[in-house]
Copies of this chain bind each other. A is one copy, B any other.
Amino acid sequence: MTASLRSVAARAGVSVRTVSNVVNDFPHVAPATRAAVQAAIAELGYRPNLAARQLRRGRTGAIGLVVPEVHSPYFSQLASVIVRLAETRGLTVLIDQTEGDPERERRLLGGSTFGVDGMIVSPWSLDVAELARTDTVPLVLLGERSGRSALDHVGFDNVAAARDATAHLVAVGRQRIAAVGTQPHLTNDTGRQRLEGYHQALRAAGRTPDPRLEVAVRALHRADGVVAMESLLDRPVVPDAVFCFTDELALGAIRALADRGLRVPEDVAIVGFDDIEDGRFSVPTLTTIAPDKEQIATGCLDTLAARMLDPDGAGQEVVTTYELVVRQSSGEHRNSAPDQGGRAPGTTPKIH
């Protein structure tokens, strides 16, 4: 049987209420009483029952983080930051994954989720309209901003970021720049926005987007990048650069190029998106768009905190920054030594 306030109170010879005061650091407790209660707590191994506390207080002290997949590097790295920052605010983060299953996504949100005071949600297959309808705990949306909605949202400008990535490939002299990562089968808008940025950059360079250089994928993993790259290499027009909508796709593309004996960046330059840890150490290291994960995490937590205080306030829009990080996979030297752009032996890779 686990110890309760009652048993501790009996043990210490005080009232239940006094024990509660000690546990909650209520100021007006005599030192002697406090010591006695603490002794009793230690002896009985008392732990507050969080269910009861939540029931009484109406709050949990926990927030949910709902992502499509826990094992995706981008999300797990972001989750890690959120958990760390939330802790400094006295919040516990409960992570859950939807695996892109709309039903599961719906259940996690609308249904009786585990008791949390609020949620940070990276929607996948659910559209914003449906999300807005679920009147449950305070919600902060994470990811692409598709259309106006009353919901709070934290994210960066996908179109601009994709434009910068593509413009970089133009700047280093690439002629046939492919795009990998659209997902026409999803309501999710991320792919469309990145494609739009890609188009804008091409037009800004006076070029006409070529649909034969745009490849759709089923998911955004390495395996999908391999498939997409192989499909590109089998087409009549072979690209000399590929903008991949995620780093994972990019790493898959690099793998596929290695299989064909093609060199990165000499034969094909690659740019990814997300700045996952892997890309900083891959061979070659990966040029990518690096969203500011700390900023995203902070934005989510701030916005969620504000929303919890004022549930009926207007929807807030937080735009975070990003950065183009140029590494080996898009180096400018087209005919340099096989060793990643002629870097001197012994130098460590530049890590941002």
What copy number does this chain have within its complex? 2
CB distance from A105 to the nearest CB of B (A): 13
Q: How far is the CA of A114 from the CA of B348 in the complex (A)?
A: 43
- If A223-B351, A261-B345 touch, whether A80 touches B73 (CB-CB below 8 Å) is no
Whether B259 pairs with A349 at a CB distance below 8 angstroms is yes
A54 located at the interface, meaning its Cβ lies under 8 Å from any Cβ of chain B in the complex: yes
Report which of B83, B136, B277 forms a contact with A70, defined as CB distance below 8 A.
B83
Mark A81-99 against chain B: 1 for CB-CB distance below 8 A, else 0. 0011001000011111101
CB distance from A280 to the nearest CB of B (A): 7
Number of interface residues of A (CB under 8 A): 71
**B residues less than 8 Å from A278 (CB atoms):** 222, 251, 278
Tell me the A176-222 residues at the B interface (CB within 8 Å).
Answer: 221-222
Residues of A within 8 A of B (CB): 45, 47-52, 54-55, 60, 62, 69-73, 76-77, 79-80, 83-84, 87, 92-97, 99, 104, 111-115, 135-136, 221-223, 225-226, 230, 251-252, 254-256, 258-261, 277-278, 280-285, 338-340, 343, 345-349, 351
Q: Known pairs A230-B346, A258-B339. 11 more at Cβ < 8 A?
A: A50-B115, A52-B55, A62-B114, A71-B79, A93-B96, A94-B95, A225-B281, A226-B348, A255-B283, A258-B284, A259-B347
